[in-house]
């Protein structure tokens, strides 16, 4: 389970990573049921960036894999289901997996979204979480 404090820590860690790497991002953190727990947009983020981050997070949760992998599946024609299931298979989101269980997902809009999410997951979960639910 991702607590409110845990989700806020993920947003803070992602923001710190983005600032360090001179990037502007927005992020959304959801629980295992797809419910929004936390969101944040850095100053200068696009007006639709939080909604985009949320759509990415929901896709990562549904497919239990980074959205970059889902994007590749769609682009190669391996699986077109994400294109008609109201998913947003664009790179930038990771599922959050602890002890083999998907407990939520983090979507990031802008710049190197998956790198930002991974840095946040690593910082908050200290190596006890992964980004692969398969």
Whole-number pLDDT of residue 110: 92
Q: How far apart are CA 111 and CA 1, in angstroms?
A: 28
Rounded Cα gap, residues 120 and 80, in angstroms:
30
pTM for the predicted model, two decimal places? 0.91
CATH of the domain at 66: 3.30.450.150
What is the extent of the structural domain holding 111?
4-130
Token match 């806020």: residue?
8
pLDDT grade, residue 130 (50/70/90)? Answer: low
Which tokens in the block code for residue 10? 């993920």
Into how many domains does the chain fold?
A: 1
């Amino acid at each position: 389970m991702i607590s409110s404090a845990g989700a806020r820590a993920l947003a803070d860690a992602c923001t710190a990573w983005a600032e360090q790497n001179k990037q502007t991002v927005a992020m959304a953190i959801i629980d295992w049921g797809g419910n929004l727990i936390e969101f944040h947009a850095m100053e200068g983020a696009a007006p639709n960036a939080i909604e985009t981050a949320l759509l990415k997070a929901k896709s990562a949760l549904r497919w239990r894999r980074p959205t970059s992998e889902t994007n590749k599946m769609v682009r190669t024609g391996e699986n077109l289901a994400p294109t008609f299931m109201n998913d947003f298979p664009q790179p930038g989101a990771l599922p959050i997996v602890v002890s083999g269980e998907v407990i939520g997902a983090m979507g990031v809009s802008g710049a190197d979204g998956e790198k930002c999410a991974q840095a946040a997951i690593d910082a908050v979960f200290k190596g006890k979480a992964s980004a692969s639910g398969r």
